[in-house]
Amino acid sequence: MHFELRSISEQSIPEALAKVERYRLLNEPSLAESICLDILAIVPDHQQALISLLLARTDQFHSHEHAKAAREVLAQIKGNYERAYYEGIIWERLGNARIRNGGAGAGRCGKQWIITRKP
């Protein structure tokens, strides 16, 4: 059996974004990320897709590598307030991931990241 992947159309973006949200709620951020990338392949500066991609990537925080990927998306988000807000989300989720994953000094370090946004 051979399956052919189809790209989405610009008209189906609202439905695709609804699926992104659903996958994030189902704790399937990699699937949400994939849909966002499909949307961005046809509309590269789609702000809601960029924000959803950033959030899906923060859902996957296990290391600084994921944080770097989220910050790369942050640079594409328009508006000073929006960039500042989502930068705060990145730091908060990175701090929480650090606390959750444990290790020596994780609690102190994670709280510092949440409060000061500095590694």
Phi-psi region of 2 (alpha: psi -120 to 50; beta: other; left: phi over 0): beta
Phi, psi angle pair for 3, to nearest 5°: -105, 135
Phi, psi angle pair for 87, to nearest 5°: -65, -40
At residue 10 the predicted structure's pLDDT band, cuts being 50, 70 and 90, is: very high
| pLDDT tens digits, one per residue of 26-41 | 999 999 999 999 999 9
Question: Stretch 105-115: mean pLDDT, rounded?
Answer: 54
Domains in the chain with CATH codes: 10-116 (1.25.40)
Q: What is the pLDDT of residue 117?
A: 56
Running DSSP on this structure, what letter comes out for residue 12? Answer: G
Alpha-carbon distance 36 to 47, whole Å? 11
Q: What is the pLDDT of residue 116?
A: 57
For the chain, the residue count is 119
For the entire predicted model, the pTM comes to 0.81
Encoded amino acid at 92, one letter: E
Q: What is the pLDDT of residue 1?
A: 66
